[in-house]
Chains A and B, each alone.
Chain A
Amino acid sequence: MASISIRNLVKRYGNFTVIPDLNLEIADHEFVVFVGPSGCGKSTLLRIIAGLEPISSGDLYIGDKRVNGVQAAQRDIAMVFQDYALYPHMKVYDNMSFALELRGVPKAEIDARVKRAAALLHIEPYLDRKPKELSGGQRQRVAMGRAIVRNPKAFLFDEPLSNLDAKLRGQVRAEIKALSQELKTTMVFVTHDQIEAMTMADRIVVLQSGTIQQYDTPETVYERPANQFVAGFIGSPAMNFFPVEWRQERAVLSQGGTAVALDGDAASRLRQAGNAVLGIRPEHFALAADADGIAINVRLVEPLGSDTLIHFDLAGVSAIARVDPSLRPKVGDRISLRPQPGKTHLFDAANGQVLR
Chain B
Amino acid sequence: MTDAATTDHWIRRLNLVQLVLAGVLIMAPTVWMVLSSFKPSFEVTAYPPTLIFTPTLDNYVELTKTTPFLSYALNSLIVTVGSTALGLLFGIPAAFAVSWTRISWPAILTLAARMAPGTLFLLPWYVMFRQVGMIGSYTALILSHAVITLPIVIWVLLPSFDGIPRSVFEAAQVDGCSVTRILWRIALPLVASGVAVSAILAFVFSWNYFLFALVLSNGDTKTLIAAAFNFIGEGSTQWGALMAAATLIALPPLVLAALVQRWLVSGLTLGAVKG
Which A residues are closer than 8 A to B by beta carbons?
Answer: 50-52, 71-75, 77-79, 81-83, 85-89, 98-99, 102-103, 132, 146
Contacts and interface: CB of A to CB of B under 8 A. Distances in A.
Interface of B: 165, 167-168, 170-178, 181, 185-186, 189-190, 275
A72 B170 contact: yes
A89 B189 contact: yes
B89 to A, nearest CB: 22
A103 B181 CA distance: 13
A254 to B, nearest CB: 49
Contact of B176 (A81, A99, A132): A99
Nearest to B192: A89
B174 A88 contact: no
Contacts of B165: 83, 85
Given A81-B170, A83-B167, A87-B171, A73 B176 contact: yes
Given A72-B170, A83-B167, A85-B167, A98 B189 contact: no
Nearest to B181: A102
Contact of B172 (A50, A87, A132): A87
A98 B175 contact: yes
Given A87-B186, A88-B190, A89-B190, 16 more contacts: A50-B170, A73-B175, A73-B177, A79-B171, A79-B174, A81-B171, A83-B167, A85-B170, A86-B168, A87-B168, A87-B172, A89-B189, A98-B175, A102-B175, A102-B181, A132-B275
B175 A99 contact: yes
A190 to B, nearest CB: 14
B224 to A, nearest CB: 38
A78 B174 contact: yes
A48 B167 CA distance: 14
A101 to B, nearest CB: 9
B178 A85 contact: no
A72 B169 CA distance: 11
A52 B175 CA distance: 12
Contacts of A146: 171, 175
A72 B173 contact: yes
Contacts of B275: 88, 132
A105 to B, nearest CB: 11
A185 to B, nearest CB: 15
Contacts of B178: 73
30 contacts: A50-B170, A50-B174, A51-B173, A51-B174, A52-B170, A52-B173, A52-B174, A71-B173, A73-B174, A73-B175, A73-B177, A73-B178, A79-B170, A83-B165, A85-B165, A85-B167, A85-B168, A86-B171, A87-B171, A88-B190, A88-B275, A89-B189, A98-B175, A99-B175, A102-B175, A102-B176, A102-B177, A102-B181, A132-B275, A146-B175
